[in-house]
Amino acid sequence: MDNYSIADNFSLLSKLMDIHGDNSFKAKSYSAAAFTIEKLDIQLSAIEEQKIFSIRGIGESVGKKIVEQLRTGQLSSLNEYLEKTPPGIIEMLLHIKGLGPKKIATVWKDLEIETIGELLYACNENRLTLYKGFGEKTQNNIKESIEFYLNSLGNYLYQQIETYAIAFDEKIKSVFKEHTFHLTGAFKRQLETIDKLEWVTSTPVNILQTFFFNNGFELVKEDNNYISFKGKENVQLGFYSCESNQLIAALFKTSCSEVFYDEWVKQTSWNENDNYITEEQIFSTYNVDFIPSFLREKASVIETAKNKNLPAVIRTADITAIIHSHSNWSDGSNSVEEMAHECIKRGLQYLVLSDHSKAAYYAKGLDEERIIAQHQHIDELNKKLNPFKIFKSIECDILNDGNLDYTPDILKTFDIIIASVHSNLKMNEEKAMMRLLKAIENPYTSILGHMTGRLLLSRNGYPVNHKTIIDACAANNVVIELNAHPRRLDIDWRWIDYALEKNILISINPDAHSIEGYDDCRYGVLAAQKAGLTKQQNLSSFSLSNFEEFVNIQQKKRP
């Protein structure tokens, strides 16, 4: 080990001790040792072991740890701290600027955040500003640092990559005007996460290679008629090169899941070398209704299309309301009135205000007195804004024992209740199922919020038996939220078709913490389209009068 490696170990040990709140004197001594070692003119490995102890600034304890590292390549005390520290906390420490040990300790111990993705989500919800040492400027700096770091990893949310994909598509078409390019792959299928952007093109591979090399891109892969590159933005760009008369067949093949494509080949006399002018022509050739790329996932959809039973899927324009939104009464950025006016401006019919409940203390969750005050405020605004209407809701924490966060006397004052898990997320399936099922069976629960608590590319959801949860929602007349935040998209679209079989309503909800968050409805719609959801099956597409009927039905469930 060289001096820099040894110094880095001491520096990391010092910071981890600070995060854990352990012996501050020792932590400072290790930090000082790291500084001393970095400045040495000679490598420690070239010094006799006994002479190491006589170096100024190196005491007995530090000296023994240097010798240990030179002999073994390890620092056992550092390894002990690494073992008891979540990997995400170490990742924050190593990669996120503006986050020192004390701030990370607050993030971990007080906010119960253990991954960078969770921290970014907390920044977007303004949660950091509620804690000492985290002003708005600090929060913004941390957010920017996280986004920069995540972008360096090469996997992106659909929402993160969308603008770049469209811009690059326009650029490449303007450069090669004599050739054809069609975006395909994961982006065309509207998958929630994207690891590369891909095109089918009539441009020969050697011409693409020359262009990208001349513009500073690196070659990632070259395989027959496929080539991919990566530039300074760290986005992988792949190209399937083929003859012009093969473009549409290649576009179809590369915009299907493997399961769908294999079934298509099995059920048809498909020849990928046939010439087609449009994708629609491919389907009409086999007397199958056109299946858009976002539905080319499960094999069963082919039979549905053969029988002319494909649904008219929901569109963003079908959203009539904002359900699940947070105001500055809890951790949102805007006042209730500002949120309502933005709904009116967008032509929406109503707003379901769902601030956090009191257990979410980190998000200024509402206690009983503030609930009464907020409801009075909503009554006043409804008189002022008529015929637009604000409904009284709450995102009510599902507590560790499965109970909701308020007594029935408080719960009955709300029009509807969205029940969500926000705490103790590291559960096994048995614990998670107990909490969720008990909450679903609670007669005050109207909507089950973000079913698994996942954060895409950041945190796996807690394990659940989706079928059992969906069956319970069906039995208890509980709507399932499709949380439209692009980092959640929870319930996973892959389970929505089973929910629809059980006649369960889905509700595409933005979980908005600002009026800009309303735009996230679109990403929920893109995910819902993959499941074949129609506007009739989506609660946030209900008219005001139909939603009022829904509220009445929900309230009749209550004792």
Is 528 a residue whose pLDDT tops 80?
yes
**What confidence score (pLDDT) does residue 545 get?**
98
Q: What is the pLDDT of residue 271?
A: 87
What is the distance between the alpha carbons of residues 141 and 143, in angstroms, rounded to a whole number? 5
pLDDT surpassing 80 at residue 383: yes
Which tens digits make up the pLDDT trace of 191-224? 999 999 999 999 999 999 999 999 999 999 998 8
DSSP state letter for 256: S
Instruction: Tell me the pLDDT tens digit for each residue of 482-506.
Output: 999 999 999 999 999 999 999 999 9
Would you place residue 279 in the very low, low, confident or very high pLDDT band (cuts 50, 70, 90)? very high
Strand 506-509 versus strand 479-483 pairing type:
parallel
Asked whether the predicted pLDDT for residue 376 surpasses 80, the reply is yes
Q: How confident is the model at residue 552 (pLDDT cuts 50, 70, 90)?
A: very high
Q: Which has the closest alpha carbon to 419: 400, 395, 402, 443?
A: 395
pLDDT of residue 39: 86
| CA dist., res. 429 & res. 441, Å (int) | 18
Mean pLDDT of 70-74: 93
Options 3.30.460.10, 3.10.20.30, 3.30.360.10, 3.30.420.40; CATH of 156-306: 3.30.460.10
At residue 321, φ and ψ (nearest 5 deg) are -155, 160
Q: Is the dihedral of CA 196, 202, 207, 211 positive or negative?
A: negative
Domain boundaries for CATH 3.30.460.10 within the chain: 156-306
Domain 3-151, CATH number (from 1.10.3720.10, 1.10.150.110, 1.20.1250.20, 1.20.1050.10): 1.10.150.110
Burial of 152 by CB count in 10 Å (0-12 exposed, 13-18 middle, 19+ buried)? Answer: exposed
Q: Where are the domain boundaries for CATH 3.20.20.140 in the chain?
A: 316-556
The pLDDT of residue 458 is 82
What local confidence, expressed as pLDDT, does residue 457 receive?
87
- Which part of the chain is CATH 1.10.150.110? 3-151
Residue 102's pLDDT is 93
The pLDDT of residue 152 is above 80: no
* pLDDT, position 232: 87
Structure token pair of residue 53: 């102890």
pLDDT digits 0-9 by tens, 449-493: 999 999 998 888 999 999 999 999 999 999 999 999 999 999 999
Predicted confidence at residue 224, as pLDDT, reads: 87
Report whether pLDDT(316) > 90: yes
User: Quick one: pLDDT at residue 149?
Assistant: 84
pLDDT tens string 106-148: 999 998 899 999 999 999 888 898 888 898 899 999 999 998 8
pLDDT at 233: 86
- Residue 180, classified by CB atoms within 10 Å of its CB into exposed (0-12), middle (13-18) or buried (19+), is middle
The CA-to-CA distance between both ends of the chain, in Å, stands at: 70
pLDDT beyond 80 at 151:
no
**DSSP one-letter string for 448-471:** E-STT--BTTTBPPPP--HHHHHH
Average pLDDT, rounded, for the chain: 95
**Are 417 and 446 in contact, with CB atoms under 8 Å apart?**
yes
Tell me which architecture the domain covering 316-556 has in CATH: Alpha-Beta Barrel (3.20)
